[in-house]
Amino acid sequence: MTASDFLQITLYFTLLIVLTPVLGGYMYKVFTGEKHLMTFVLGKPEKLIYKLSGIHPDEETNWKTYTWGLLLFNLIGMVFLFVLQIIQAQLPLNPAHLPNVSWHSALNTAISFMTNTNWQGYAGETTLSYLVQMLGLTVQNFVSAATGIAVLLALVRGLSRKSASTLGNFWTDLTRSTLYVLLPMSIVFAVILAGEGVIQNFHPYQAVHTLQGTEQVIPMGPAASQIAIKQLGTNGGGFFNTNSAHPFENPTPLTNFLEMLAILLIPAALTYTYGKMVGSLRQGWTIFMVMLILLISGLAIALYGEYSANPIFSQSHLMEGKETRFGITNSVLWSTVTTAASNGSVNAMHDSLSPLAGMVALINMLLGEVIFGGVGAGLYGMMVFVILTVFIAGLMVGRTPELLGKKIGAFEVQMAIIANLSTSLVILVFTAWASVSSYGLSSLNNTGAHGFSEILYAYTSAAGNNGSAFAGLNANTLFYNLTLSFSLLVGRFGVIIPMLAIAGSMARKNITPESAGTFRTDNWVFGGLLIAVILIVGGLTYFPALSLGPVVEHLLMIK
Amino acid sequence: MSTHQNTSSLFNQKIIFQAVKDSFIKLNPAVLIKNPVIFIVGVGSVLTTVIVVVSLFNGNFSAFNLQIAVWLWFTVLFANFSEAIAEGRGKAQADSLRKNRTQTMARRLVGGKEDVVAAPDLRKDDVVICDAGDIIPADGEVIEGIASVDESAITGESAPVIRESGGDRSAVTGGTKVISDRIIIRITSEPGDSFLDRMISLVEGAKRQKTPNEIALSILLSGLSIIFLLAVVTLPAFFSYSLSASGLPSSQNLTIPVLIALLVCLIPTTIGGLLSAIGISGMDRLLQRNIIATSGKAIEAAGDVDVLLLDKTGTITLGNRMATNFFPADGVSETDLAHAAQLSSLSDETPEGRSIVILAKEKFDFRGRDVHQKNAVFIPFTAQSKMSGVDLTDEKGVVHRIRKGSSEAIKSFIHNGNGFFPKKMEEKVAELAKMGATPLVVAEDNKVLGIIQLKDIVKGGIKQRFAQLRTMGIRTIMITGDNALTAAAIAAEAGVDDFMAEATPEDKLVRIRKEQANGHLVGMIGDGTNDAPALAQADIGIAMNSGTQAAREAGNMVDLDSNPTKLIEVVEVGKQLLMTRGALTTFSIANDVAKYFAIIPAIAVSLYAGKTEVGPLAALNLMNLGSPESAILSAVIFNAIIIVLLVPLALKGVPYRPVSANKALIRNLFIYGLGGVIAPFVGIKLIDFIINLFA
């Protein structure tokens, strides 16, 4: 690694830390309904939206109504996207005359984009029309991120309210986060990207003569607008198949840097918003630091894996699967960040990462996408571990465990366990199924431990709602489309529903004032403890699976 | 404090013998299933045993599988043993309290006639007679008469107490003995429902109801067990893939005993096995302090209490006010004042009066004077006169009238003798009253000699105790009938956080509700009937055994010693109970790291070996364990033995210190968290070493 590599990593994290309170503070104002800069610009449209859709923005609901609203909204979005794909040939804005998508691929894609995963079993430029990309995928990119934020907001209200029965209004939260946070940021970012050379047009695909004298078809399309939200909303679904490794999606080092920053920006800032909303900025920062430490530790291992000499080829710096435009450091930083953040966009092929770097990507997802994680989803996922940590260790101070003055009881523990269990269940069971069945194994391009990693990676990515892939696996089969779809749903709603239930139950509780007898959740002791619980409870479950995948692969390589 | 049952009984042979027997009785699946974690181990033991038995017939016998089976059974038995021994100790404690009662015969009054029945046959609202020498057959309330009762059987306190009908001292406890007089008692509890019976049911594992924290913890443990179960049942599939990728036959896949061994090592058996023992021993520790809790929930809540309502008298101050100083008037020496004060108080039998005699004795060594020679006529203290004193006739036949009493009483006494009350003395009286003290004035004839200062004596060490409570985040509120000035002075001296002056029972109730509305959990101790609403409202209400039946029913604990300071100990027991659970949970989960590093390299050693002897995953064998078999066995053995090794800790509780939550956490994390990661690495290595010595 060179000095400029270190400099760039330092710059990246410094900017992330600096922007966290800026954006976090702004979002606090948006979500608590305070007046802010954008109210003057977008206040009227907001009111208009409520009027047209018959929403009473200040009418609060209990957790059940909130959850039903959320589920219904997601279902409608999914059905719409599904239908759009299977009839795209009959719809306009399809200059490449792409045929209708198969039902199971369409279903997988619809679920994938609804769940903020953007797992792509298909190749964008050869499968989906411009209309589907814009009206289907991009819309879901916005609203799935907004859904994540809404769940987080409900949870925060549950934690901070005293003896209350309501958690806010889902439709208001959805509208505000889309209108005031995601839309303006995406517009600005899309313009910057377009300025740097990311394409944004409705041209038909261009046939060109290459220098070698052959003919090549170059896909076109409205990419910039989708890429902005794909990064900001931790969606990650590429306009083109090679995602951000494609020069039309990610043309320059600057776009590469900005896109990486965009991946973590909102999840990081939400920790600040959270801290401010629950009245403990220290707690927000503690969670931020836990995430940052886990991220940087993973990054260090991945960089070590990539930069240490590969004895098989007697050379270090393996460039297979990486863009020469970005180099190793930027590829590894991206792969670590995108898997930590449940984004899933890639600028290098993860299948070609060194076993250790690949393992870091896997672990980031296996831990439950809580290292910054998805927009909203990362933080509410982290709260599962916070609740478990408070409960396991909180007893050691001699009091019923409390989080923010609220006692954690059997119901909360049960819900947190369900949230934790649901992702483990689909990852382990489906990986086991795929690794012993012919329809699972026939999709593999690699043998040995690496093949096993590919299967594990697929289900982990789906259950973690990440969406990135170890590309060696052909996942566009009936078996994979369906089992992965199921994993996507469980990984998303298997956490959302228990967390909203926790929010509802916590809201009803009284708040015990803080004293010297309180188990503190806003200092380094708790931070360290939280890391230990994440690694032991979240990670140890997968120790055998990881041993048989990337660990053995690494050991075989260095032998 | 009376911890009759000390730690030596932990190894009481009889209890251990019974516990060993019970460990086997508890193998009954219907009993075992109440503890899901240990139930899983039980199922694993049965499965492994069946496999071993079958292998005896088909010739595939494996000594390794047999050893696994044996140690799995030990794991279950050790867990059962921990519960059985906790129960045994609790029962022994309760039995010693109950012993008296079972043999008692009662004289029941039916329609004015007596008939003799066995104590357990008494029903609620039966009326019985007890004469001197009778043992009171059951908990009840005195409805007629007054008697002195020896309660030493349950309190260990030898001095008899008075029990009388009406008022706040009407409750009697079964098993205590009437020493004098005759009382008629109405029985207030159904057989099997007295405080003792309820307490006994709380220390019997099978009947014990789980407390809220215990339920939540059980859910966590069950959840973790399911997660690990998933990790283990999916492993053969992962192995199947890896075996074929390594070119090995599928017959080398993991065997069921090995999978069960891995599962048992991963699920939280340590805390799962000890959870019940921890809960029971919490009750037991209370019983050792002579406190009977009517629910396990109450003990847990005691740990959560962050506001304590403490009665001034008896808890913060010694029972009565005491003389502490003499302030002589101008022209009078302190010796003369003390002398007169002592003389005038000799006939004052109140504790205050006696304290004056003692102070004079201590300060000036006045003692043993023969007052009769001086033709003394004693005027005893009465509530009407508010004075006591003595009339001395000297050699000349002049009568000196020495009096001691409240300033008002002495003032009128002096005015009657045409004397006058010096302004300076009047000021001193006001000053002392302002400080919270009670000034008594001493006069001889029409002359004021000086003032005696009576003060509440704050108990030694109580200030430090309150400071400790403060570091633990517990606020103390002193309750007193005194006026605000006096209360404030004592509150400041004792170091309580807040006080309620001139508090009525209604005030207490209102205050408790207010604290609770603000999210606090309130503990209080009380005795009178009018305390009952507040005791019922408080999260922890401790009724004194000397109190009324109403108070005892309203509270959720009864203090047999009737010692108000107990409230603080109850809080400590509650905290210790929760800490022990948390510490062992953390320890149990932290153990998993080492167990993975023992078992995974052992079972995966042949994978991807190619032509070499051992596969690459042997590199994970950090502990350098002897062989794959010994590695798995060592982990299983460690997992079983650690339960037994931790039984004393579960029974005694983790050492408790009155420090802030953060300090307690860091300390416990260091010992049980870090220790929990390191201990199994050392333990498994050691067991592996021993196994390989004999291999």
Whether A436 sits inside 8 A of B241 (CB atoms) is: yes
Is residue B472 within 8 angstroms of chain A, CB to CB?
A: yes
C-alpha triplet A360, A362, A367: angle, nearest 5°: 95
At position B209, the amino acid (one-letter code) is: Q
**In the predicted model, what is the mean pLDDT of chain A?**
92
Q: Is residue A171 part of a domain?
A: yes
Is residue B254 within 8 angstroms of chain A, CB to CB?
A: no
Can B394 be counted among the known catalytic residues?
no
Calpha distance B645→B640 (Å, rounded): 9
Calpha distance A47→A54 (Å, rounded): 10
Predicted pLDDT at A377: 94
Question: Nearest residue of B to residue A433 by CA position?
Answer: B237
Predicted pLDDT at A185: 96
Which residues of chain A make contact with B676, given a CB cutoff of 8 A? none
Asked if A351 and A472 count as a contact pair (C-beta separation under 8 A), the reply is yes
| Three-state secondary structure of B575-611 | HHHHHHHHHHHHHHHHCHHHHHHHHHHHHCCCCCCCC
Among the partner-chain residues B266, B472, B615, the one whose CB lies closest to the CB of A517 is B472
Which residues of chain B make contact with A523, given a CB cutoff of 8 A? 662
Spot the catalytic one: B284, B311, B531, B559. Answer: B311
The three-class DSSP label of residue A422 is: helix
Full DSSP string of A60-108: ---HHHHHHHHHHHHHHHHHHHHHHHHTGGGSSS-TT-PPPPPHHHHHH
At position B644, the amino acid (one-letter code) is: V
CA distances from A222 to A20, A132, A194, B573 (A): 30, 11, 10, 68
**Token pair in block for residue A29:** 């104002």
CB-based burial, B206-230: b 16+ in 10 Å, e otherwise: eebebbebbbbbbbbbbbbbbbbeb
Whether B217 sits inside 8 A of A518 (CB atoms) is: no
Calpha distance A406→A412 (Å, rounded): 11
Question: At residue B505, does pLDDT exceed 60?
Answer: yes
Asked if B558 and B545 count as a contact pair (C-beta separation under 8 A), the reply is yes
Question: In which band, very low, low, confident or very high, does the pLDDT at B201 lie, cut at 50, 70 and 90?
Answer: low
**Token pair in block for residue A540:** 């140890």
Q: Is residue A213 part of a domain?
A: yes
Among the partner-chain residues A398, A447, A555, the one whose CB lies closest to the CB of B617 is A555
ipTM score assigned to the predicted complex: 0.92
Name which residue leads in pLDDT, A387 or B312.
A387
DSSP label at residue B26? T
Please give the interface size between A and B, counted as residue pairs whose CB atoms are below 8 Å apart: 221
Distance from the Cα of A513 to chain B's closest Cα (Å) equals 6
Among the partner-chain residues B234, B660, B666, the one whose CB lies closest to the CB of A429 is B234
Question: At residue A495, does pLDDT exceed 90?
Answer: yes
Q: What are phi and psi of B341, to 5 degrees?
A: -60, -40
Is residue B548 within 8 angstroms of chain A, CB to CB?
A: no
Predicted pLDDT at A332: 94
Distance from the Cα of A507 to chain B's closest Cα (Å) equals 13
At position B640, the amino acid (one-letter code) is: A
Q: Write out residues 596-635 of B within 8 Å (CB-CB) of A.
A: 596, 600, 604, 607-608, 615-617, 619-620
Predicted pLDDT at B6: 43
CA distances from B526 to A236, B195, B307, B495, B546 (A): 65, 17, 15, 21, 10
Q: Is residue A211 part of a domain?
A: yes
Asked if A462 and A487 count as a contact pair (C-beta separation under 8 A), the reply is yes
Question: At residue B200, does pLDDT exceed 70?
Answer: no
Smallest Cα–Cα separation from A230: which of A108, A342, A314? Answer: A342
Whether B212 sits inside 8 A of A410 (CB atoms) is: yes
Full DSSP string of B209-244: PPPHHHHHHHHHHHHHHHHHHHHHHTHHHHHHHHHH
Calpha distance A115→B28 (Å, rounded): 47
Is residue B239 within 8 angstroms of chain A, CB to CB?
A: yes
The residue-averaged pLDDT of A403-407 equals 92
Predicted pLDDT at B416: 83
Question: At residue B8, does pLDDT exceed 60?
Answer: no
pLDDT digits (tens, 9 = 90+) for A324-368: 888 899 999 999 999 999 998 999 989 889 899 999 999 999 998
Whether A519 sits inside 8 A of B661 (CB atoms) is: yes
B166 Cβ contact partners less than 8 Å away, ≥ 6 residues apart:
none
Smallest Cα–Cα separation from B585: which of B335, B302, B224? Answer: B224
Q: Is residue A428 part of a domain?
A: no
Question: Nearest residue of B to residue A554 by CA position?
Answer: B616
Question: At residue B152, does pLDDT exceed 70?
Answer: no
Name which residue leads in pLDDT, B176 or B537.
B537
Looking at the DSSP bridge assignments, the partners of residue A206 are: A218
- Taking the alpha carbons of B137, B138, B142, B148 in that order, is the dihedral positive or negative? positive
Whether A414 sits inside 8 A of B235 (CB atoms) is: no
Name which residue leads in pLDDT, A123 or B220.
B220
Whether A400 sits inside 8 A of B520 (CB atoms) is: no
Q: Is residue A234 part of a domain?
A: yes
Whether A542 sits inside 8 A of B231 (CB atoms) is: yes
Question: In which band, very low, low, confident or very high, does the pLDDT at B456 lie, cut at 50, 70 and 90?
Answer: confident
C-alpha triplet A53, A58, A64: angle, nearest 5°: 85
Q: Is residue A375 part of a domain?
A: no
| Domain hosting residue A147, numbered range | 7-271
Q: Which helix (H) or strand (E) holds A455?
A: helix A448-463
Among B37, B209, B213, B570, which would you mutate to test the A interface (most chain A Cβ atoms within 10 Å of its Cβ)?
Answer: B213
Torsion angle of C-alpha atoms B150, B152, B153, B154, degrees rounded to 10: 110
What angle, rounded to 10 degrees, do the helices at B592-603 and B628-645 form?
Answer: 160
Whether A397 sits inside 8 A of B574 (CB atoms) is: no
How many distinct structural domains can be found in chain A? 1
What angle, rounded to 10 degrees, do the helices at A139-160 and A377-394 form?
Answer: 30
- The winner for highest mean pLDDT among A283-287, B92-96, B522-526 is A283-287
C-alpha triplet A490, A493, A495: angle, nearest 5°: 95
Question: In which band, very low, low, confident or very high, does the pLDDT at B203 lie, cut at 50, 70 and 90?
Answer: low
Whether B582 sits inside 8 A of A559 (CB atoms) is: no
Neighbours of B109 (CB within 10 A): 16
Name which residue leads in pLDDT, B445 or A491.
A491
Q: Which helix (H) or strand (E) holds B393?
A: strand B387-393
pLDDT digits (tens, 9 = 90+) for B559-605: 877 776 777 888 888 999 999 999 999 999 999 999 999 999 999 98
Looking at the DSSP bridge assignments, the partners of residue A406 are: A403
Question: In which band, very low, low, confident or very high, does the pLDDT at B1 lie, cut at 50, 70 and 90?
Answer: very low
**Number of helices followed by number of strands (H, E) in chain B:** 26, 22
Distance from the Cα of B212 to chain A's closest Cα (Å) equals 7
Calpha distance A514→A511 (Å, rounded): 9
Is residue B569 within 8 angstroms of chain A, CB to CB?
A: no
Calpha distance B166→B142 (Å, rounded): 8
Among B241, B297, B581, which would you mutate to test the A interface (most chain A Cβ atoms within 10 Å of its Cβ)?
Answer: B241
- The winner for highest mean pLDDT among A15-29, A112-126, B282-296, B493-507 is A15-29
Q: Is residue A224 part of a domain?
A: yes
The three-class DSSP label of residue B452 is: strand
Of all residues in chain B, the percent with pLDDT exceeding 70 is 90
Distance from the Cα of A394 to chain B's closest Cα (Å) equals 7
First to last CA, chain B: 53
CA Rg, chain A, in Å? 23
Predicted pLDDT at A230: 93
The residue-averaged pLDDT of B371-383 equals 71
Question: At residue B321, does pLDDT exceed 90?
Answer: no
Whether B306 sits inside 8 A of A410 (CB atoms) is: no
**In the predicted model, what is the mean pLDDT of chain B?**
84
Question: In which band, very low, low, confident or very high, does the pLDDT at A56 lie, cut at 50, 70 and 90?
Answer: very high
The residue-averaged pLDDT of B291-300 equals 81
Asked if B62 and B248 count as a contact pair (C-beta separation under 8 A), the reply is no
Question: Nearest residue of B to residue A162 by CA position?
Answer: B519
Asked if B80 and B33 count as a contact pair (C-beta separation under 8 A), the reply is no
CA distances from A501 to A154, A528, B12, B319, B638 (A): 10, 27, 49, 53, 39
Among the partner-chain residues B300, B608, B668, the one whose CB lies closest to the CB of A556 is B608
pLDDT digits (tens, 9 = 90+) for B621-642: 999 998 999 999 999 999 999 9
Among B217, B225, B227, which would you mutate to test the A interface (most chain A Cβ atoms within 10 Å of its Cβ)?
Answer: B227
DSSP label at residue A40? H
Q: Quote the pTM value.
A: 0.86
The three-class DSSP label of residue B170 is: coil
Strands (E), B436-521: 438-444, 447-458, 475-479, 498-500
**Please, where are the H alpha helices in B291-441?**
296-304, 334-345, 351-364, 407-416, 423-434
Calpha distance B24→B505 (Å, rounded): 52
The residue-averaged pLDDT of B83-101 equals 75
pLDDT digits (tens, 9 = 90+) for B155-176: 655 567 778 887 777 888 877 8
Among the partner-chain residues B227, B517, B664, the one whose CB lies closest to the CB of A421 is B227
CA distances from A551 to A355, A509, B550, B604 (A): 7, 45, 68, 12
